[in-house]
């Protein structure tokens, strides 16, 4: 997959937005300048047209003419004046035969002949005004003079006007483009500087591998509001992954060691039997020992499979299991009563109310069985184990107390780890595999519960399990 740069994409996007803004600003400036300048231009045209109207006089032959004395008409401007009869009073020399084309008149009052329009005259573009007005000629004469109605067309070329408009727009556009270039350079520098913590975070993350889990984000990354949650999440995830990988490697190593030890014992027993001829009783004893060690290997493999099953992520389509923990505890205690009786240990079960939890019947019995067996193995002879279940507001509490030798405080934090034994010698004596409590923890955590162990040397140990009531909020 082709890599993409966030910085490059941001820079291109912002520059495009700024470029669109420049184009929009230039367009607005063009229309604004055109409007303002044409309004001023129209005022000038009207002034020239009024000047022409004021310059109409009678000559010595009583003909209406335009007195050009004091009349200031730019050389490129054109005009045409006629009276109400259509007679031409006067026109500029460059009027020629009149305009070759003209646009529709833009009148302020649709019922008035006055208005502004554009025309083409002698190949040039003009802006023109057409106005009609009545003027009294020689008002000092007897009778108050004669009233005449005149129509005046006055036009000026627009090329200078458009040249000024385009110069202004070009100034706006050039200034905007220069600002765009300056802001673009500043933005590239600022973005690169602002993205430095992200690049640092990516560089730190790229060094993580299956053999190197070190990930320590810098203070700058942790101080960045947008990156701090991500950095802390990555840090926490990597710590959990490192712990999981470490546990996995330890599990494989410990499992291999346990199985290797059991296989070595079986192999040694067979080799001893094969060294010389034996009596039937000796062969029988050797075979019994081999069978015991084979059962132990089977137990280790079975518990490893149980642990793998419990830790499997449940399918979202599987229905949530439910069982009565009190019934499972009662049934398990009955099954282990004979085992406890061998050491003179009694299992006390006070009145147990119904305790629905989100566990399968199989997992509930494995949980109770492992905890009771652990207490039986560590209880003093002729002692008592008490198992109680208390139903609280949203939780079920299972508590199993024994009267054994207790657990060393230094070993207590590790009792739920796989293959951990505070007393390694109990391997062959009790048949323990070091997986029982690890399985209990996996079962409880899969049901969103908690399991803890407290112990006092030479007094006893208490295992406490808290599980949400089946059907309570959050399950």
Can you give the pLDDT at residue 104? 46
Check residue 60 and give its pLDDT: 74
Per-residue model confidence as pLDDT tens digits over 20-65: 988 998 899 889 988 999 999 999 999 999 998 888 888 777 788 8
Per-domain residue ranges of the chain? 6-166, 321-468
Long-range contacts at 419-422 (CB < 8 A, ≥ 24 apart): 419/250, 419/251, 419/254, 419/255, 419/257, 419/258
Is this structure's pTM higher than 0.85? no
**What are the mean pLDDT values of the chain's consecutive 10-residue runs (475 residues total)?**
74 87 89 90 91 84 80 88 88 75 47 72 87 79 74 91 90 88 86 83 82 81 84 86 75 69 77 81 84 78 74 64 90 90 89 86 90 90 92 90 89 81 51 76 90 92 92 55
- The class level of CATH for 321-468 reads alpha beta
Q: What is the structure's pLDDT at 109?
A: 44
Q: Which long-range contacts (CB under 8 A, 24 or more apart) does 330-338 make?
A: 331/365, 332/365, 332/368, 332/369, 332/372, 333/368, 333/372, 333/387, 335/369, 336/369, 336/372, 336/373, 336/376
Q: Are 53 and 130 in contact (CB under 8 A)?
A: no
How confident is the model over 287-335, as pLDDT tens digits? Answer: 888 888 787 777 777 777 777 777 666 656 567 788 999 999 999 999 9
């Amino acid at each position: 997959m082709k890599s993409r740069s966030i910085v490059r994409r941001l820079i291109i996007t912002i520059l495009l937005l700024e470029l669109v803004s420049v184009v929009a600003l230039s367009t607005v400036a063009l229309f604004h300048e055109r409007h303002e300048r044409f309004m001023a231009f129209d005022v000038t045209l009207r002034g020239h047209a009024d000047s022409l109207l004021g310059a109409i006089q009678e000559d010595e032959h009583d003909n209406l003419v335009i007195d050009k004395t004091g009349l200031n008409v730019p050389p490129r401007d054109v005009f045409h004046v006629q009276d109400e009869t259509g007679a031409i009073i006067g026109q500029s020399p460059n009027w020629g035969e009149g305009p070759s084309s003209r646009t529709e008149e833009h009148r302020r009052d649709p019922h008035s002949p006055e208005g502004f329009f554009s025309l083409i005259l002698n190949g040039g573009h003009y802006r023109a005004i057409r106005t009609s007005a009545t003027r009294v000629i020689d008002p000092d004469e007897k009778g108050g003079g004669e009233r005449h109605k005149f129509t005046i067309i006055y036009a000026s070329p627009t090329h200078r006007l458009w040249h000024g408009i385009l110069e202004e727009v070009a100034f706006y556009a050039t200034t905007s483009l220069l600002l765009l270039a300056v802001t673009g350079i500043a933005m590239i520098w600022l973005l690169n500087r602002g993205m430095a913590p992200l690049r640092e975070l990516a560089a730190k993350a790229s060094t993580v591998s299956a053999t190197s889990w070190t990930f320590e984000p810098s203070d700058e990354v942790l101080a960045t509001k947008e990156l701090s949650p991500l950095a802390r999440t990555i840090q926490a995830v990597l710590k959990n992954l490192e712990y999981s990988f470490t546990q996995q490697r330890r599990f494989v190593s410990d499992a291999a060691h346990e199985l290797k030890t059991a296989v070595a014992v079986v192999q040694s027993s067979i080799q001893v039997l094969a060294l010389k001829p034996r009596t039937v009783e000796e062969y029988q004893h050797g075979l019994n020992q081999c069978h015991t060690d084979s059962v132990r290997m089977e137990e280790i493999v079975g518990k490893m499979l149980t642990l793998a099953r419990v830790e499997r992520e449940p399918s979202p389509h599987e229905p949530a299991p439910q069982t009565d923990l009190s019934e499972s505890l009662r049934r398990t205690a009955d099954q282990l009563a004979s085992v406890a009786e061998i050491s003179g240990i009694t299992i006390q079960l006070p009145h147990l109310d119904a305790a629905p939890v989100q566990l399968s019947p199989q997992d509930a019995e494995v949980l109770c069985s492992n905890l009771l067996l652990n207490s039986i193995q560590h209880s003093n002879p002729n002692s008592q184990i008490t198992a109680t279940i208390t139903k609280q507001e949203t939780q079920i509490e299972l508590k199993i107390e024994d009267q054994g030798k207790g657990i060393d405080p230094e070993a207590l934090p590790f009792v739920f780890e796989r293959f951990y034994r505070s007393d390694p010698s109990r391997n062959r004596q009790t048949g323990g595999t070091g997986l029982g409590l690890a399985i209990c923890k996996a079962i409880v955590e899969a049901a969103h519960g908690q399991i803890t162990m407290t112990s006092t040397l030479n007094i006893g140990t208490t295992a406490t399990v808290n599980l949400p009531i089946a059907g309570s909020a959050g399950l």
